[in-house]
Structure 1
Amino acid sequence: MAVIIYVTSDGGEFKIDELSQRLLVHFAIRGETSLEDSVGPVGAESQGEVIDRIESYLGPDAAGFVEITSRSQTFDGGTIDYYGLTDSGEDFIHNHIDDLAVPADLRDLSQRVSKLETELLNRTLADELRDKIDDLEYEVDSRISDLEDRLEDLESR
C-alpha cells in the first residue's frame, strides 16, 4: 500500500503510512474507539505503536486527523481515552478513499469470504457429483433388477 504524503495549509508534511491509513479507516468505521480496541483490528503490535502513529502522524500536533473525543473512568481510578476523527480527518478519508488501506479485520474478513466461497463451490460440486452418482446407482440397480427378473423367467421355462 502506498504512503500518502499529506501537506497541511501551513506547509507541514506528514507521512500517512499503511498503519496510519488503517487507523483512519478504523475510526471512520467504528467511530470513537479506545486504543486497546484499535490495536488488533488495525494490525498494530501494541497500544504504543498506535499512540506513536497518532502522536507523530495523525493527532492534533501532526496532521490533525485524530483527536481524543472522550474519556471515561476505570474502576481503579484510571482513565481511558477514546479517539475519533476530526472534520479534517473525515475530509481526508473522503478525498482518499480509493487509496487507503483497510483495517486488518476487514482484510481478514475478505479473505475468509473468499475461502468460504471456494469451500461452498467445492461443496456444491461435491453435492452435484453425489446426486449424479446416486442417480446412476439407482439406474444400475433398476437394470440389474430387470435382468434378474428376466433371468428367473428364462430359468422357469
Structure 2
Amino acid sequence: MTTARKERWATLAGISAFLGGLLHVIALIGGADWIYFFHAPPSVVESARLGTWLAPVSTLLITALMWLCSLYAFSAAGFVRRLPLLRTGLFVVAFICIVRGLIFFPLIMIDRVWLSRLDTFELVASVIWLAIGIFFALGLRAAWKKT
C-alpha cells in the first residue's frame, strides 16, 4: 500500500471524527428528543428537557474531544502541521474506538438478557466505532512510516 493510500485512511478518520462531533452539535440543537434518540444517558436527556447545563456542557465537551481527534487524524494525513505526540494520540484514539466497537459483540454472546434487549442503534453504533478505530489505526500506520 502506498503512502498516499495510507494517508487516505487518516483523512477518512479525520472526516469521521469531525462528523461525529458535528452530529453531537446537531443533536444538541435538536433538543431532548434528538438527544434521547442518540442514546444519551437519562440524566443528559433530562437536562435537555429541563434546560440545565449538563446536556450542553457534556455534549460540547464530547464534540471538542472528537474534533481534537479529527485534528490528530488530519495531522497524520498532512493537512495540518504535525501535532505533539501524534503517534501516541492516534494510538489511543484507535484503541478506544476499536474497544468500543468490539465490546458489543462479547456482551451479546455472554449475556442472554443483554441479547434480549438488542438494539439496532447499538449494533450500528458499534460497527461505526469499530470502523473509525480501524481508520485511525491505519492512519497511525501511515504516520509511523513517515518518521
Q: Please, what TM-score do these two structures have when normalized by structure 1? A: 0.22
Tell me which of the two structures has the higher relative contact order, counting C-alpha pairs closer than 8 angstroms and 6 or more residues apart. Answer: 2
Specify which structure has the higher proportion of strand. Answer: 1
Specify which structure has the higher proportion of helix. Answer: 2
Q: Please, what TM-score do these two structures have when normalized by structure 2? A: 0.23
Larger Rg belongs to: 1
